Amino acid sequence: MMGGTGTHSRKAPLGALAVAILGLSIGCSSGATNQDSGKEITAFTFASPACVGKIDETAKTIDVEMPSGTKINALVPTVSHTGISVSPDSGVAHDFSSPSTYTVKAGDGSSQSYIVTVLADELVKNGDFSQGKEDWNHWANASTGATATALFSNGTFRVIETRRGVNNWDWNLSTRSVDVKKGVKYRVSFDASSSIAEEIRVGVYENGTDVNYDGNSYTEWDNHYFTISATTQTYTYAFTMNAGFDDPSAALIFYLGQTRGYIEIDNVSMKVSAL
């Protein structure tokens, strides 16, 4: 016989209650304390103009080639990444007039920064030789027996002359009226090959105007050596105009004296790397 009007409840076993609480705890904490250490930028792109950044994961740098004349002070990048966030945010307009730092934060609290450089201002005219020898000059030092025979055809510059002097400056290819500014960093790039592996020198110099008043109208501002081979490759180097002077009529020159192979050069470019 039951007494009273109350209802009876069965107590849950203590073990079951503990499991339920534990399960609730696990469910609540999932994703909230992510300990993933991933923090890589996997893609850096622009929709307008459509461009894809070249990521160097070792150096933690990203270079983006923009069409010449592109306004780069308010570009909107799309940044794909691992980790939990990137700063500045993806999809937000940013001023790329100088190299910019994008930092990815991982779930474990660590972070990794990348330097993003946007290149847009092309200083070399007819760098792909699509207009033949327009805006280009080639010269040979006759006093050393060099002769200036070359071909500008099919969008490529070719050296076929075998008499190239005894010094690397005895035979050269140059483009002039390259406007370089003091304190500005530039990036030079070109495609090249030679039928035999050999060294060439590339430099930027005064082109007959003594802008630094040192009595020499052909002062070289910078140069770099490259070993080219039978396989066409893209060669690149950067330099900063540290002369303390602007040179609005400088020349970019390829020193090809002393070389012996069949040489091809194409897609010559010189762009502002940092303002």
pLDDT at 158: 92
| Residue type for position 53 | G
pLDDT category at 186 given cuts 50, 70, 90 is confident
Measured from the Cβ of residue 118, the count of other Cβ atoms closer than 10 Å reads 28
pLDDT tens digits, residue range 208-267? 777 777 788 788 899 999 999 999 999 999 888 888 888 888 999 999 998 989 999 999
CA separation for the pair 169, 147 (Å, rounded): 13
Measured from the Cβ of residue 244, the count of other Cβ atoms closer than 10 Å reads 9
pLDDT (mean) for 88-116: 94
CA separation for the pair 31, 23 (Å, rounded): 15
pLDDT tens digits, residue range 18-34? 444 444 333 333 343 46
pLDDT of 182 above 70: yes
Ranges for all domains in the chain classified under CATH 2.60.120.260: 136-274
Ranges for all domains in the chain classified under CATH 2.60.40.2340: 41-119
Token pair in block for residue 28: 């609540």
pLDDT at 89: 97
Look up tokens 């194409």; give the residue. Answer: 266
Under CATH, which number does the domain 136-274 receive?
2.60.120.260
CA separation for the pair 254, 157 (Å, rounded): 12
Q: Kindly report which listed range (8-17, 19-28, 72-81, 241-250) carries the lowest average pLDDT score.
A: 19-28
CA separation for the pair 153, 102 (Å, rounded): 43
Looking at the chain, the number of H-run helices and the number of E-run strands are 1, 18
Long-range contacts of 108-114 (CB under 8 A, 24+ apart): 108/34, 108/35, 108/36, 108/37, 110/37, 110/39, 111/39, 112/39, 112/40, 112/60, 113/60, 114/41, 114/55, 114/60, 114/61, 114/62
Q: Which CATH class is domain 41-119?
A: mainly beta
Do 226 and 200 contact (CB within 8 A), yes or no?
A: yes
Question: How long is the chain?
Answer: 275
Buried (b) or exposed (e) across 37-51, using 16+ Cβ within 10 A?
Answer: ebbebeebebeeeeb
C-alpha distance from residue 199 to each of 23, 194, 254, 274 (Å) = 69, 10, 11, 28
